[in-house]
Structure 1
Amino acid sequence: MSVLTNKDIDLFAQKILEDYDSKDPGAIFKSKIKISNTEASFIQSTVSKLRKKRGEEIIGYKIGCVLKETQKKMGLTQPAWGTLWQKELHTSGVLLDKKDYSNPAMEAEFGIILNRDLKPELISFEYILESIESIYPLIEIHNLVFYGDTPHGAELLANNAIHAGVILGPETKFPKSNQSTNLKLIYDKEIVDAWSNKKWPHDMLSEVTWLVNEQTKINNILKKGDLILTGAYGFPVPINEKKVIEVTSSAFGDVKAIFD
C-alpha cells in the first residue's frame, strides 16, 4: 500500500465530497483504491474542512462501530466517529425522499446535547454526566454502500462513517436517576431490530470518553450545544421498499420519519 501525500489526500477529499453531493457516495472506491485507516481519517477531516469552507455548520459528532464484532467485521480496532451537519438534521415526522440517499439504512440510538464545553483534561464518566443537557431518541440515516474490498473500515472512515443525517425525537431533560429502557427499530409497523434493558447512563455513554480523546488528537473539543450520537447497538438496516420508519424507547419517547 502506497503512502498518500497531502496533495493526494486533498484530491481524494474533493472527489469524495463531489460523489456525496451527486448522491453517489463512495464512488471513488469503485476503482478499489487502497488507503489505510489513518489516511481515511485524514481524508474525512479534509472533507469536513471543505464543507465548513463553503458555509456548512457542524452541530456535533457521531460514534459508530461501538460493538467489538462490528469493529472486527470492518477491520477496525476501535469505534469510528463522524461529523454531524446542520443541513442534515431533521425533526420527528419529517418526509424525506429515498432518491436523496444511496441504499438508505437506519439505526436506532440515542443522542445527547452538551451543556458546556468539554475540557479534555477533566474528562471522566462523572464529568461527562454532569455536562449533559438532555437526551433524545433518534433515527440515524446511513448511505449503506461499500465498493472497495473487505474489510471496509477505511472506506467507512473516509465517507464520514457513512453518516447521511439524523431525525431527532423528543427532548428529555437530563435524567436525575438511573433508568432502564427498551429500544425498537420499526419499519411499516414491523419490528426489524430491538434491544431490552438498556441502562441510562452507562450503556449510552460508554464511548463518549473515547470520542473526546480522539477529538483532542486533532485539536478539537466538544462544545456546548453539540449533539453527540452515542452509538447504535446493531448494524444499519436498509429500508428497501419500506416507508414509515419509527424508533421507540420506553423511557425516552418515540421518533418517526417517512421515506417516499
Structure 2
Amino acid sequence: MTEQLWSPAKVADVLIRAEDSGVAQTSILAEWDGLDLAAAYEAQDIALQMRISRGERVTGVKLGVTSKAKQRQVGVDSPSTAWLTDAMILPIGEPVPREKMIHARAEPEIAFVMGRRLEGPGVSAATALAAVDHVVGAIEIIDSRFSGYKFSMMDAVADNNSSGRYVTGPISVRPDSLDLGLEACLLEVDGEIVDSATGAAVHGHPAEALAFAANTLAERGLAIEPGWVILTGGMTDAVPVRPGARIAAHFTHLGTVNVSGG
C-alpha cells in the first residue's frame, strides 16, 4: 500500500476491525513508515474514542514493555501506555473467551487501584504511590491483532499494547504495607510452575511504572483518574492460553489469581 492510504484514523479503524472480526492484520509499519510513536499514540486515542462511542467506559491504563528484557527484545528503552475499558474486564471464574481472540496469552501483573487523581509532569514513584488506594494481583490476557504475533513497537502501541482481557484478584492490600519491589509471583500452568519474578521486574518497581504512566499521559494533556485500575506490566513472559488450560499467578501477599482457557 502507498503511504497516502494510511493515517492514524485509518490505523485505528483497521485494528478495531481486526479485533472485532478476529482476523489478524500484517504489520502496519511494514506498509506505512509514517507510523512513528506519535502517530501510534494518536491511533490508540482515536481507537479509544471509537470504543467509547459504542458504549465502552474507560476503567484504567495498562503499561507495556516495562521489563528491561522486553525492552531489549523490541529495541526500546522505555515502557508504553495504553487504555483499559470495561469491555476488557474478565469476571473472576469466567473462562478466557479464546474464540473472540487471536493470540490469547496470559501474564501476571501487579495492579494499582487509584484513590485520587494523578497528573504529571514531575510525578515521582513516591508521589504516585501516595495516590493509590490499594494494590491487587492480576492476570492480563494480551491479544495482538498482528499475524504470527510479529509486530514492531509502533504496531503494538497503535494496537493498544495488545489489549485483551484482565482479571484482578480478590485480595487488596494498602500500598504502604508491603515492599512491592520484593513482591514475588509464581506463574503456574496446568499444575507446573513455569516462571517467577518479583515486582522489581516491572520498570525497577511498580510505582516507577505508575509514575511513568502519569508523566507520559501528561504529554498528551491526560491524567490518571480516581478509581482507575493501572496494570503495571507483565512480571514474567506471557504464556499461551490453550484450550482448557489452567493458569494461576501466586503472589506472596496478594493471593492467587486464576484463569482458564475456554
Deviation at 1:196, TM superposition (A): 4.8
Q: Deviations over 1:174-207 (max 9, x none)?
A: 143333432012111111211258599x722122
Map 1:76-225 onto structure 2 (within 5 A): 76-120=76-120, 123-144=123-144, 146-147=146-147, 152-179=152-179, 180-196=182-198, 203-225=205-227
Residue pair 2:27, 2:150 contacting (<8 A) in 1 also = no
Question: How many equivalent pairs are there?
Answer: 257
1:239 maps to which residue? 241
Deviation at 1:50, TM superposition (A): 1.2
Q: In 2, Cα distance between the equivalents of 1:172 and 1:119?
A: 24
TM-score, normalised to structure 2, is: 0.87
Q: Does 1:13 align with 2:15?
A: no
Distance 1:169 1:146, change over 3 A: same
Q: Deviations over 1:98-134 (max 9, x none)?
A: 2121121111111001101113256222221211111
2:46 maps to which residue? 46
Q: In 2, Cα distance between the equivalents of 1:243 and 1:167?
A: 16
Distance 1:51 1:168, change over 3 A: same
Residue pair 2:247, 2:260 contacting (<8 A) in 1 also = yes
Q: In 1, Cα distance between the equivalents of 2:66 and 2:121?
A: 23
Deviation at 1:63, TM superposition (A): 0.9
Residue 47 of structure 1 aligns to which amino acid in structure 2?
A
Which shifted more, 232-241 or 144-153?
Answer: 144-153
Deviation at 1:20, TM superposition (A): 0.8
Q: In 1, Cα distance between the equivalents of 2:29 and 2:200?
A: 41
Which shifted more, 121-130 or 99-108?
Answer: 121-130
Question: Percent identical across equivalent pairs?
Answer: 20
Residue pair 1:91, 1:169 contacting (<8 A) in 2 also = no
Q: Classify the secondary structure of the residue corresponding to 1:157.
A: helix
Q: Classify the secondary structure of the residue corresponding to 1:109.
A: strand
Q: Deviations over 1:1-34 (max 9, x none)?
A: x8779x7221221121111111225x15379423
Distance 1:231 1:148, change over 3 A: same
Q: In 1, Cα distance between the equivalents of 2:41 and 2:51?
A: 15
Residue pair 1:29, 1:148 contacting (<8 A) in 2 also = no
Distance 1:214 1:198, change over 3 A: closer
Residue pair 1:144, 1:236 contacting (<8 A) in 2 also = no
Q: In 2, Cα distance between the equivalents of 1:209 and 1:217?
A: 13
Residue 211 of structure 1 aligns to which amino acid in structure 2?
A
Distance 1:45 1:196, change over 3 A: closer
Q: Classify the secondary structure of the residue corresponding to 1:257.
A: strand
Q: Classify the secondary structure of the residue corresponding to 1:76.
A: coil
Q: In 1, Cα distance between the equivalents of 2:58 and 2:239?
A: 26
- For structure 1, the 5+ residue unaligned runs are none
